[in-house]
A and B are shown apart, each in its own frame.
Chain A
Amino acid sequence: MKTFKIGGIHPSEDKLSAKSPIRQAGLPRQAVISLYQHIGAPAKPVVAKGDEVKVGMLIAEADGFVSVPIHSSVSGKVNKIDAIVDASGYRRPAIFIDVEGDEWEEGIDRSEDLVTLAQHPELTAEEIVGKIKAAGIVGMGGATFPCHVKLSPPKDTKAECVIINAVECEPYLTADHRLMLEKPDEILVGTELVMKAVGVEKGYIGIESNKPDAIALLTERAKEHPHIEIVPLKVKYPQGGEKQLIAAVMGREVPAPPALPIHVGAVVQNVGTTFAIYEAVMKNKPLFERVITVTGKDVRQPSNLLARIGTPMSLLIEECGGMPEDAGKIIGGGPMMGKALMHLDVPVCKGSSGLLLLSEREARRKAPQPCIRCAKCVSACPMGLEPYLLATASALRKWDVAEENGITSCIECGSCQYTCPSARPILDNVRMGKTTVMALIRARNAK
C-alpha cells in the first residue's frame, strides 16, 4: 500500500464517532460570523446593524484576490459588528446575527437530487472557478486557504492531476469519513468539477486504509467515473499534509518553499471542500454550514454534526450530551494540530473540522526532561528536518541558524513532540521560531 517515505508516526486512532451518522445541529439563538475565516485579507462587511438577512445572503465581500466572501448562515437581524475571541485565541471582528426563523435565499437548490456534470456540459472552467469564488469556499481541512486561488495556478505551471485529500489522518476526527459514506456520488461529481476547473484528465482520491467502508463504497461508485482512481493509503500521520499526500500518491517531493504543489503538477483539495464545491456549483449553495466532529472519550454521544457557521461551540457540546465533568481542555480541530479554545462561545468557522474534549488527565503535559540525543524527532519529521536543532535555535533566538536549517519548511504537524521520550516542548519553540523567521524574511523582502 502506498504512503510517504520520510518520517511519520502512528498515534492511537480513537475514531469514536465513525459509526455516528451526520445529523443537523440545532440553530443558535445568535450566530457570530467571524470576518477572519480564511487565510488572506479579512472580508469586508456589506451589512449594517439592523439589516434583515436570509440564509445564504452575502454579508461580507472579499477584499482582494486572496480573500473570500462570507454568507449568512442564518436568517434574522444583524445585531452588531463587534470583536470576539475566535478559535485563533485573538479578538477579531465578527458579525452578530440574532436568529429569527430559517428562511433561505431563493435560488438555493435544497433537494437531495444528484446533479451530474453530464447534465451541465456547458459549464466552463472559468464558470466553475467563478462560482467557487462567489460561494466563499476555502480549504476545509483546517488551513482555510481560498479555494479559487488554488484553482487558478500561475501561468508558468501546468497541472497534471487532481488529488482529493480524504486521508483524515488526525486521530478522533471522522467528519470526512462520514461525508464519504453519506455523499459518495456528490464527492465524485465535485472531484470532476475540480478536474474540469484546472483542465486535467486524472483525479485521485487518497483514503487511509482505516476507512475500508469508504474505500469500498467510493471504488464501487467510481466505476461510473473512469478518470477518478481511489488510492488506499497506509495509515500514517501526517499523511493528510498536502506535501505528504502528493509524495504518497504521486511519489513526487514538493521542493522547499516558496515552491507550491502545483510545481510538481498537483492540485490538492480536501474532500469536505470537494463536497462544498459540488454544492456551490450544482446546487447554488454558498458555504455556510459544514460537518464537524464533536468527540472525546468522556463525551456521552460523540457525533458528526452538520453545523451552521457561527454556531457557538457550547451549543454543539449540548447536542452531544453536555460537558463532561472532568473536562480539562477543549480543542478546536484534532488532537495533533488543533488549538485549545479560550472559551466555549467560540463560533464554528469554515475551517472547524472538529471539537475535541479532553479530560484533565489526558490534557496534562508531562514535565520536560533534558534531551537525550535519541534523534527520534529527526526520524519522525515528515519534512526531513532536525526538530531538536530548530527548537534549540529558536529558544536561543538564533534566527539565522533556524533559517539555514529550513525552519520555514516545518508544517507544524507535531510528530517531533509526540515522539519525544523526554516530553520536550519541541513544537512550541519551533512554531515560535518559524513565525519569527517568516516575519524576518518578509521584512527583508519588503526592503
Chain B
Amino acid sequence: MNVIWIAVIILGAVGLVSSVVLYAASKKFAVVEDERIGKVAEVLPQANCGGCGYPGCSGFAAACVKAADGGSLEGKLCPVGGQPVMEKVAGILGLAAEASVPKVAVVRCNGTCENRPRVVEYVGVRSCRVQLLSGTGETACAFGCLGGGDCVAACQFGALSINPVTGLPEVNEDLCTACGACVKTCPRKVIELRPKGPKNRRMVVKCVNRDKGAVANKVCKASCIGCGKCVKVCAFDAITVSNNLAYIDPEKCKLCRKCEEACPKGAIHAINFPPRKPKAEAAPKQEATVGAVVSQEKKEA
C-alpha cells in the first residue's frame, strides 16, 4: 500500500514541477508568428521559383508583411502572379498595391547559324557553362548566345526552348513569368527582363557584343557595331551607346520604330508589331503613314 502511495506522490510531484517549467518556458520562449504571413502565403502561386528574390513563397510572404509594417509594399513583386496577386496581397495587408510593370524575358542575341558562322565544332556536354571552359564557343563572337541551353534547363515554367534552326533560345511569352532564373543562369548575360510594353510590343537591340565595330562586324552579320545611327534618329533619347553597344531604355522608348530602320545591321528588332505594309519598305515616303498607324494603334491601346 505504502509503496503505491509513494509512487503516486513522486510521479505527481514530478508532473507538477514539469508542468510549471513547461508553462514558464512556453511563455518565455513563445514565438508569435504573424497570422498575416500564412494568409499572404496562401494567395501566392507556390511556385517557389525565387524570382521575387526571397527563398520561396513563404519567405516572400514574411518579407511582404514586414514591409507592410513599414507602411509600403514598394519593390515587392511576385513575378509569377504579377499585378493581380500583388493586389490580393495588398488587400490582406490593408494597403494599396504598387503599380507594377509586367516583364518578360528577352533573348538579346540574333546570332543564328546563318548570321554567325560556326568557326569550330564543340564536342562535349551541351551546357553553356561547360562550353565556356574550352573557349569562346563555336562562333568567333565572344559575347553572344552559346546555344547550350542552360536557360532552358533553368526555366521551371517551360517557357524557353532552343530553336533547332537558329540554334538560339526562344521565349514563349505566354508561359514566361519573368522570374529571372534564366537571367541568373546565363553565363553570357544574354537574357534580360524587359517590360512587356504597351500591347506587348517592344523594341530590343538583339546583340550584346561589346567588341569594336570592325571586330563585331566580322563575327556576325546581325551584330551591333556601335555606330550610333539609332541614337541620332531617336527623338526621345531612349538609346545610349556604351562599350560599342546600343541599349534601348524601355521606359523612354515610344515605339516609333525609327531606330529599327536606321540600324545598318538590322540589330534592332521590333517585337510583336504587325507586319509593315510592303510598300513602306520600298518607298521611304510611306514612313510617315507607318508612324501614324503605330501612333493610332497606341492610342487604341
Q: Does A428 contact B (CB under 8 A)?
A: yes
- Contact yes or no, B133 A90, CB < 8 A: no
The answer to whether the Cβ of B92 comes within 8 Å of any Cβ in the partner chain is no
Q: Which of B117-144 contact A (CB under 8 A)?
A: 119-120, 123-125, 127, 129-130, 133-136, 140, 142
Chain A contact surface mostly: mixed
- Residue numbers in B under 8 Å from A363 (CB-CB): 123
- Report B-chain residues with C-beta under 8 Å of the C-beta of A91: 136, 142
> When A342-B120, A365-B123, A425-B124 are in contact, do A431 and B133 touch as well, CB less than 8 Å?
yes
A432 near B133: Cβ-Cβ < 8 Å = yes
Q: Are A436 and B135 in contact (CB under 8 A)?
A: no
**A425 in contact with B125 (CB, 8 Å):** yes
Structural contact, A85 and B124, CB atoms closer than 8 A: no
Residues in A neighbouring B129, C-beta threshold 8 A: 432, 436
Q: Does A340 belong to the interface (CB within 8 Å)?
A: yes
Interface residue from B130, B135, B140 paired with A428 (Cβ < 8 Å): B130
Determine the distance from Cα of A428 to Cα of B128 in the docked complex, in whole angstroms: 11
Q: Is A429 an interface residue (CB 8 A)?
A: yes
Q: Does A369 contact B (CB under 8 A)?
A: no
Q: How far is the CB of B115 from chain A (nearest CB, A)?
A: 19
Across the interface, which residues of A come within 8 angstroms of B134, CB to CB? 89, 339-340
Asked if A152 is at the interface of the complex by the 8 Å CB criterion, the answer is no
Q: Is the interface of B mostly helix, strand, loop or mixed?
A: loop
A88 within 8 A of B: yes
- What A residues does B124 contact at CB under 8 A? 365, 425, 428
Closest residue on chain A to residue B211 by CB atoms: A91
Docked complex Cα distance between A422 and B100 (Å)? 51
Q: Is A24 an interface residue (CB 8 A)?
A: no
Give chain A nearest CB distance to B111 CB in angstroms: 16
The reply to whether the CB of A435 lies closer than 8 angstroms to some CB of chain B is: yes
Tell me whether A342 and B125 are in contact in the complex, defined as CB-CB below 8 angstroms, given that A91-B142, A428-B130, A432-B130 are known contacts: no
B166 shortest CB reach to chain A, Å: 23
Among residues of A, the one whose C-beta sits closest to the C-beta of B150 is A397
Given contacts A342-B119, A343-B119, A428-B130, contact A90 B125 (CB under 8 A): no
- A90–B135 Cα distance when bound, in Å, is 6
Q: Which of B120, B123, B125, B140 contacts A429 (CB 8 A)?
A: B125
Residues of A within 8 A of B142 (CB): 90-91
CB neighbours (8 Å) of A428 from chain B are 124-125, 127, 130, 133
Residue of B nearest to A431 (CB): B133
Complex CA distance for A435 and B134, rounded to whole angstroms:
12
Closest to B123 in A: A365
Q: CA separation between A428 and B15, bound complex, in Å?
A: 63
Q: Which residues of A contact B125 (CB under 8 A)?
A: 395, 425, 428-429, 432
Task: Tell me which residues across on chain B come within 8 A of A88, comparing CB atoms.
Answer: 135
**CB < 8 Å neighbour of A342 from B123, B130, B133, B136:** B136
Given contacts A88-B135, A90-B135, A342-B135, whether A432 and B119 have CB atoms under 8 Å apart is no
Query: For residue A340, which residues in chain B have a CB less than 8 angstroms away from its CB?
Result: 120, 134
In Å, the complex CA distance between A329 and B133 comes to 17
Assembled-state Cα–Cα distance A429/B130 (Å): 7
Complex interface: chain B residues within 8 A of A343 (CB): 119-120
Contacts A432-B129, A432-B130, A436-B129; A89 near B135 (Cβ below 8 A) = yes
Q: How far is the CB of A384 from chain B (nearest CB, A)?
A: 23
Per-position 1/0 for A418-444, Cβ under 8 A of B? 000000010011011001100000000
Give every chain A residue within 8 A of B120 (Cβ-Cβ).
340, 342-343
Tell me the smallest distance from the CB of A433 to a CB of chain B, in Å. 9
Mark A8-25 against chain B: 1 for CB-CB distance below 8 A, else 0: 000000000000000000
Q: Report the Cα distance A90→B129, complex, angstroms.
A: 14
A239 to B134, CA, bound (A): 24
Q: What per-residue 1/0 map shows which CB atoms of B269-282 lie under 8 Å from chain A?
A: 00000000000000
Contact of B135 among A85, A365, A431 (CB under 8 A): A85
Residue ID in chain B nearest A426 by CB atoms? B125
Interface centre among B124, B129, B136, B140 (most CB of A within 10 A): B129
- CB-nearest residue of chain B to A329: B123
Distance in angstroms between the alpha carbons of A436 and B187 in the assembled complex = 11
Q: Return the contact of B136 from the options A90, A395, A429 (Cβ within 8 A).
A: A90
- Taken together as a complex, chains A and B put the C-alpha atoms of A431 and B131 apart, in Å, by 11
> Using Cβ atoms and an 8 Å threshold, which residues of chain B touch A85?
135-136, 140
Chain A 346-389, CB-CB to B under 8 Å as 1, else 0, gives 00000000000000000111000000000000000000000000
Tell me the complex Cα distance, A420–B21, Å. Answer: 61
| A429–B128 CA distance with the chains assembled, in angstroms | 11
The 6 A-B pairs with the shortest beta carbon distances in the complex, nearest first, are: A89-B135, A428-B125, A432-B130, A425-B125, A428-B130, A432-B129
Binding site for A on B (CB under 8 A): 119-120, 123-125, 127, 129-130, 133-136, 140, 142
CB pairs A–B below 8 angstroms (17 shown): A85-B135, A89-B136, A90-B136, A90-B142, A340-B120, A340-B134, A342-B120, A342-B135, A342-B136, A343-B119, A395-B125, A428-B125, A428-B130, A429-B125, A429-B130, A431-B133, A435-B133
- The interface of chain A, by Cβ under 8 A from chain B, is 85, 88-91, 339-340, 342-343, 363-365, 395, 425, 428-429, 431-432, 435-436
Not counting A89-B136, A90-B142, A340-B134, a sample of 19 additional A-B residue pairs whose C-beta atoms are within 8 angstroms of each other reads A85-B135, A88-B135, A89-B135, A90-B136, A342-B119, A342-B120, A342-B135, A343-B119, A365-B124, A395-B125, A425-B124, A428-B133, A431-B130, A431-B133, A432-B125, A432-B129, A432-B130, A432-B133, A436-B129
